[in-house]
Structure formats: structure tokens, C-alpha cells
């Protein structure tokens, strides 16, 4: 780790490396890669505390400075940092980062290095042929890897601000905001609160306490409004934005600012040509622009926490976000791990510790974002093979999320298509989130059957008296493939598929949202189930709308953000006229 790399290739950071060079061995490389660069810090900064921060390295990272390991981190979608003040040498330093893309039965997301491929099944051995070591993701997105989010070197004084937490409650037309500032060293904490126009609206002194904003301008869906808390501590200073809004589940309603909200949107992947899963801020802006064009109001960060730059943008734009952990593939009877014999997912997989850690880190990173209204503990976990074991696994995680979130937002788990009557885990959650493929994986081509099956399911879930929503439903659609009679994979079929689902869900008062699968086509592992990736996007991978995008736009622009399902919707619409 001390010397320069042999035969290095030029790779751009931040980005996934997989699509930056040609060759199967490069794209499908399995195991470690090494990044290296020189680092020199100007003398003027050397009096400060120097911190090296990685937005995300997928999935495992070891960081070396001049050959000494200074940090290691497992988990590919959340930040980590290390203070390098003491180890940095004057002049040039060599920074090396090893990146490990392997996923296993002990990692999140879950993978297998011995089983079959998620979409292709087990490979029989061929005498004399060495099958390349390969990683089998237990999830349906390409296992992009690398230093995927920005690497930053920042400075603070020796006594510094470590963390800021702000939680507000609304009382009439004012907000009471309780705050906490964690610091290292000696000094007094002072806060100055400004509104979006830069006008001072409150002040506070001390490391914890309350301040009042009166009158308050609420953060609203599609009308984000941010206050800025300027925190001063000795010579250190940090500006933390926050919004004032409330979130609550009451009976069958999901309330934002006390009003029943209706989710319109999709699951979104961080995925684009060339960048892979690497950050692309142009795409962030473009995707939110398309979201607004559609008349949508929300998305889920499927299936991992998205870049914090995106979360900040959502705060500004008022986009409502379901924030999801990378717990995808926690299912030993599905995909790469399916053997045919029912296995106990929660003893086959050893992911409890990483799961707790990722919930802790996600909430620590995202707690101050007003855009986040719901935490998703996992996507499509095995909740029904051994229902009690699933409860024993997820109930403590639910409690952990509640305990860690200073705002106590609602918590959910996104449920897989299964024998839902057996499921004991979903009913424990605040919102029932369902991924359902009636009309695609089940009853494909038969909308009557699909509608009937959906109705039976929604009848069942309605008895719980909790809000229910779809977090996935969709049909693979090849852009440009048309037929007058809708057939699977054509654009016409995708349009009819959504129309059929909507006809059903519109009948249920406790149905609080539709997030389809997926916003855009995305890359997956190769296999007979995928034609150049997953094609369930309503946009192509380069963000061209399919017919369904226009149809959804027609629908969503007519659905109000609030009161869609209550009688008040009628009154509200009349008022708007």
C-alpha cells in the first residue's frame, strides 16, 4: 500500500468504475480494486483539524495514507470519515483506497458467492472448465462498485461542532424547535436562525434547548421551505438547514402537516449510463424536474440511501421521500439463495449487526431532512416462511429506528408478493407498503384476474385499519415496441397495466399512495429475465418518456397532494376551481 500501483488505469471519481473501461473482466470484476492519488495540503490549513470524508464507497473500503491504514468501512451507501491531522506529512502524501465489491450472506445488500444467479439459476459444473469466481447478488440491480460519491477533505478548528439535531413541533402558527448541538472541546454554543429570505427569526444560546419561530412558514410537499440554523462554537461554525412540518399516521391516514397526504411517485435507482451508480447531480435536477412534470410528489430511495446531495435537493423542492436502508435480498428462499427447501432466512443470513448499524447511520445522516417522512427498514424481506422468526428479527429493528429518530417518524418495511395472510411483520409497521406484480409476474396478460387478485388483497389489508400503499407495481416495457392489442412488453401493455391497478386502488379509502416500479430503466445482472437491464421504467435509462409516462401524467396532475381519499377532496377541489 505504500508504493505506487502497477499499471494503473485512469478512473474518474466519484463514479462506479464498471462502465468506465471495456472488457467483461473489468465490468464483472469480483473482489478488490485499488484507487490511488497524491494528496498535498497547503501549509495554511495544517493548523486545522483535517478530516477526509467519503460520501459512499461500494461496498467495503480500506483507506491508507502513506501505507498506514487510517480507516475501514463496510456498507456502500452511507458516508464515513477519518481525521488525518496527525498522520498527514508535509508535502506529498499517497492516498490509497481499496474497494471490495463482494456481497455475501453477511452483508447488506445480501449476496451469495456459492449459489445461483438472481435471474439465471444454478450453473452446473463443466469438467475442465474453470467457472470464474463470481458474485451473485440477491437483488435485481447491477452490483456497481467504486468510490461512488464525493470524497472531501474538510477542516475544523481543534474545538469543533460534531453534530446538530433539530426537531420542531407546530403550535398554531408558530413552531417550537428543540435542538441539540454535540461538540468536542471548550466553548459556548450560539445559534442564529434565518428564514429563506435571510431574515433573522430566532436565536439561542447553549448546547441544547428550544427556540420559537413565529409566525412559521411550513415545509410543504412541492413547496419546500427551509430555515437555516447557523451554529457557532468558539471558532467553529456550521450551517444546518431544516424545515418545519409534521408527519403522523392516524388511523388509515398518512398526515403531513395534519392533512391526509397521497403519495404519487415511484421507486428510483441511482443508475445512469457511464456513471453507473455514481453521483450525477445533473441527473438529480433532471429527475426531479421530470417528477414535477409528471405531477408526482414523492419517491422511495430504492434500495439503499441515496446521495445526500439528492436529499438536500428534495428538501429544497419539497419532494417527499421514503428513505430505505440497503437491506435488500434478506430472503433465503428467493433469487440467488433459493434451494427449493424452505430455509430460515434469519439463521442462514447473518445480517442483524450490519442491519442495526445501517439503520443507525442512515438516521444519523438523514434525521434533519424534512423530505424524509417514512423510514423503510428493508425491501422484500422474507416475512412469511417462518413468520414468528421474522417478527423476532424486525420488531427490535422497528423499535431501534423509533428510538434513534429524534422526530419519531413512521417506520415501515416494504413487503414482497407472498402469502400475505401469514405475514405477521407488516402489520406491526406504521404503514403497509406492498410490492405487487398482479398482471406481470402473476396473471401476466390477464387484467381481469389481476384486478380480482388485487381486490382480494386490498380487502384483506383494509381490515387492519392502517394506511396501505403500493411501493412497487409495474411491467417490463421495451420503448418503441407497439401493438394495437396490448401484449406484455409493449408500451400499450404498460399503459393498460397501470390503468387496471388504478381502477382497483381508487376504490379503497385507506389506500394512501401509489409508487410504481420504476422511474427509469436500469442496469441489472445479465440473465434470461432481463433484456439489457430491467425495463420497467416509465422513462428509458436516458430519461425519454414511454407512453405510460404520458398516461400517468394525465392521472397524477388531477390527483391533489392532500385529501384525495377523503370526502374533503371533493370540497377542496371545489375550492380550487
Cell of 127: 469438467
Q: Of 62, 379, 390, 412, which one interacts with ligand BDP (CB under 6 A)?
A: 379
The question of whether 472 is a catalytic residue gets the answer yes
Of 233 and 440, the one with the shorter C-beta distance to ligand BDP is 440
User: Whose Cβ is closer to ligand BDP: residue 65's or residue 416's?
Assistant: 416
Question: Distance between CA atoms of 329 and 441, rounded to whole angstroms?
Answer: 18
Rounded Cα distance, 239 and 303, in Å: 29
Residue nearest to ligand BDP (CB): 140
What is the closest distance, in whole angstroms, from the C-beta atom of residue 470 to ligand BDP in the complex?
A: 12
Pick 59 or 530: Cβ nearer ligand BDP: 530
In the complex, what is the shortest distance from the CB of residue 157 to ligand BDP, in angstroms, rounded to a whole number?
45
Among 331, 536, 541, 565, binds ligand BDP (CB under 6 A): 536
Q: Which of 253, 270, 308, 380 is catalytic?
A: 380
Catalytic residue chosen out of the listed positions 472, 491, 496, 514: 472
Closer to ligand BDP at the Cβ: 95 or 328? 328
Task: Please give the grid coordinates belonging to residue 376.
Answer: 423503510
13 phi and psi angles, rounded to 5 deg: -130, 135
Lookup: cell for 41: 495540503
Residues near ligand BDP (CB under 6 A), total? 9
Q: What is the DSSP string of 99-157?
A: EE----TTSSS-EESSS-BTTTBPPPP-TT--PPP--EESSSS----EE-S-EEEEEE-
Asked whether position 333 contacts ligand BDP by CB under 6 A, the answer is no
When the beta carbons of 105 and 379 are compared against ligand BDP, the nearer one is 379
d(CA 316, CA 188): 30
Q: Is 98 in contact with 36 (CB distance < 8 Å)?
A: no
- Binding mask of the shown chain, residues 62 to 81, with x at each position contacting ligand BDP by CB under 6 A: --------------------
Q: What is the smallest separation between the CB atom of 275 and ligand BDP, expressed in angstroms?
A: 19
Contacts of 52 (CB under 8 A, 6+ apart): 63, 70, 71, 81, 82, 83, 84, 95, 151, 152, 153
Ramachandran angles phi, psi of 193, nearest 5°: -105, 130
Instruction: Confirm if 380 and 415 have CB atoms less than 8 A apart.
Output: yes
To the nearest whole angstrom, how small is the minimum distance from the Cβ of residue 413 to ligand BDP?
A: 12
Cis amide linkage into residue 109, ω under 30° from 0: yes
Least CB distance from residue 550 to ligand BDP, whole Å? Answer: 21
Q: Give me the least distance between CB of 417 and ligand BDP, in Å please.
A: 7
Contacting residue, 140, 315, 324, 407, with ligand BDP by CB under 6 A: 140
Q: Give me the residues paired with residue 343 across strands.
A: none
Does 534 bind ligand BDP (CB under 6 A)? Our answer is yes
Between 119 and 167, name the residue whose CB sits nearer to ligand BDP. 119
Task: Report helix, strand or coil for 184.
Answer: strand
Report the residue from 253, 380, 407, 430 that binds ligand BDP according to the rule CB under 6 A.
380
Other residues' Cβ atoms within 10 Å of the Cβ of residue 510: 20
Query: Cα dihedral angle (266, 272, 276, 282), rounded to 10 degrees?
Result: -100
**Shortest CA distance to 99 belongs to which of 36, 31, 18?**
31
* C-beta closer to ligand BDP: residue 382 or 472: 472
With CB under 6 A as the contact rule, the residue among 270, 405, 457, 472 that binds ligand BDP is 472
Q: Which distant-in-sequence residues (6+ apart) come within 8 Å of 156 by Cβ? A: 48, 49, 51, 236
Q: Cβ 455 to ligand BDP, closest distance in Å? A: 21
Contact 294, 552 (CB under 8 A): yes
* Nearer CB in complex with ligand BDP: 473/564: 473
For cell 406481470, the residue is 440
Q: How far is the CB of 518 from ligand BDP (least distance, A)?
A: 7
Residues 148-187 that bind ligand BDP (CB under 6 A): none
Can you tell me the distance from the alpha carbon of 536 to that of 440, in angstroms, rounded to the nearest whole number?
A: 11
Contacts of ligand BDP in 493-532 (CB under 6 A): 517
Bridge partner list, 32: 100
Q: Which of residues 411-450 bind ligand BDP (CB under 6 A)?
A: 435
8 Å CB contact between 336 and 115: yes
Pinpoint the alpha helices (H) of 491-565.
491-505, 547-556
Within positions 293 to 322, which residues make up the interface with ligand BDP, using CB under 6 A? 303
When asked if residue 384 is in the footprint of ligand BDP (CB under 6 A), the reply is no
Q: How far is the CB of 537 from ligand BDP (least distance, A)?
A: 10
Between residues 270 and 472, which has the closer beta carbon with respect to ligand BDP?
472
* Closest separation in Å from C-beta 328 to ligand BDP: 7
In the bound state with ligand BDP, the residue whose beta carbon lies nearer, of 474 and 486, is 474
Strand pairing class (236-242; 227-233):
antiparallel
The residues annotated as belonging to the active site are: 380, 472
Residues that bind ligand BDP (CB under 6 A): 140, 303, 379-380, 435, 472, 517, 534, 536
Amino acid at each position: 500500500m505504500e508504493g505506487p500501483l502497477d499499471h494503473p488505469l485512469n478512473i474518474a471519481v466519484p463514479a462506479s468504475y464498471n462502465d468506465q473501461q471495456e472488457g467483461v473482466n473489468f465490468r464483472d470484476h469480483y473482489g478488490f480494486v485499488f484507487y490511488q492519488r497524491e494528496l498535498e495540503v497547503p501549509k495554511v490549513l495544517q493548523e486545522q483539524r483535517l478530516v477526509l470524508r467519503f460520501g459512499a464507497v461500494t461496498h467495503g473500503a480500506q483507506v491508507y495514507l502513506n501505507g498506514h491504514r487510517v480507516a475501514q468501512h463496510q456498507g456502500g451507501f452511507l458516508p464515513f470519515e477519518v481525521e488525518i491531522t496527525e498522520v498527514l506529512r508535509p508535502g506529498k502524501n499517497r492516498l490509497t483506497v481499496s474497494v471490495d465489491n463482494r456481497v455475501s450472506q453477511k452483508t447488506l445488500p445480501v449476496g451469495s458467492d456459492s449459489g445461483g444467479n438472481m435471474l439465471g439459476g444454478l450453473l452446473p459444473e463443466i469438467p475442465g472448465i474453470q467457472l470464474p469466481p463470481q458474485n451473485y447478488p440477491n437483488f435485481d440491480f447491477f452490483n456497481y462498485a467504486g468510490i461512488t460519491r464525493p470524497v472531501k477533505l474538510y477542516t475544523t478548528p481543534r474545538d469543533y461542532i460534531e453534530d446538530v439535531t433539530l426537531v420542531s413541533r407546530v403550535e398554531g402558527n408558530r413552531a417550537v424547535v428543540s435542538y441539540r448541538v454535540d461538540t468536542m472541546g471548550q466553548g459556548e454554543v450560539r445559534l442564529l436562525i434565518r428564514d429563506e429570505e435571510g431574515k433573522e427569526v430566532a436565536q439561542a444560546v447553549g448546547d441544547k434547548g428550544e427556540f420559537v419561530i413565529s409566525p412559521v412558514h411550513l415545509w410543504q410537499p412541492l413547496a419546500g421551505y427551509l430555515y437555516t440554523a447557523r451554529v457557532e462554537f468558539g471558532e467553529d461554525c456550521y450551517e444546518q438547514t431544516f424545515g418545519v412540518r409534521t408527519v403522523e399516521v392516524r388511523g388509515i391516514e398518512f398526515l403531513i402537516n395534519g392533512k391526509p397526504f397521497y403519495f404519487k411517485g415511484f421507486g428510483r435507482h441511482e443508475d445512469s449510463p457511464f456513471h453507473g451508480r455514481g453521483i450525477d447531480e445533473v441527473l438529480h435536477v433532471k429527475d426531479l424536474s421530470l417528477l414535477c412534470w409528471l405531477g408526482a410528489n414523492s419517491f422511495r430511495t430504492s434500495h439503499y440511501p441515496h446521495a445526500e446531495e439528492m436529499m438536500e435537493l428534495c428538501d429544497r423542492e419539497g419532494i417527499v421521500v421514503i428513505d430505505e436502508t440497503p437491506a435488500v435480498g434478506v430472503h433465503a428462499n428467493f433469487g440467488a439463495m433459493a434451494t427449493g427447501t424452505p430455509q430460515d432466512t434469519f439463521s442462514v443470513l447473518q445480517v442483524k449487526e450490519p442491519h442495526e448499524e445501517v439503520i443507525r447511520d442512515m438516521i444519523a445522516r438523514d434525521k434533519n431532512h424534512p423530505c424524509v417522512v417514512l423510514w423503510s427498514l428493508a425491501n422484500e424481506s422474507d416475512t412469511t416462511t417462518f413468520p414468528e422468526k421474522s417478527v423476532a428479527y424486525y420488531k427490535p429493528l422497528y423499535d431501534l429506528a423509533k428510538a434513534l429518530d429524534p422526530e419519531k417518524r413512521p417506520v415501515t418495511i416494504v413487503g414482497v408478493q407472498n402469502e400475505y395472510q401469514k405475514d405477521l411483520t407488516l402489520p406491526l409497521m406504521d404503514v403497509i407498503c406492498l410490492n405487487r406484480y398482479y398482471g406481470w409476474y402473476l396473471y401476466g396478460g390477464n387484467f381481469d384476474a389481476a384486478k380480482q387478485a388485487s381486490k382480494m388483497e386490498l380487502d384483506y389489508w383494509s381490515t387492519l385499519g392502517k394506511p396501505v400503499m403500493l411501493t412497487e407495481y409495474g411491467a417490463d416495457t421495451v420503448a418503441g415496441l407497439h401493438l394495437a392489442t396490448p401484449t406484455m412488453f409493449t408500451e400499450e401493455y404498460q399503459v393498460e397495466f397501470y390503468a387496471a391497478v388504478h381502477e382497483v386502488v381508487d376504490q379503497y379509502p385507506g389506500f394512501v399512495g401509489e409508487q410504481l416500479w420504476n422511474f427509469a430503466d436500469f442496469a441489472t445482472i445479465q440473465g434470461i429475465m432481463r433484456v439489457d437491464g430491467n425495463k420497467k421504467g416509465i422513462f428509458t435509462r436516458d430519461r425519454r418518456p414511454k407512453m405510460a409516462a404520458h398516461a400517468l401524467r394525465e392521472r397524477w396532475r388531477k390527483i391533489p397532494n392532500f385529501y384525495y381519499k377523503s370526502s374533503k377532496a371533493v370540497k377542496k377541489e371545489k375550492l380550487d376551481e
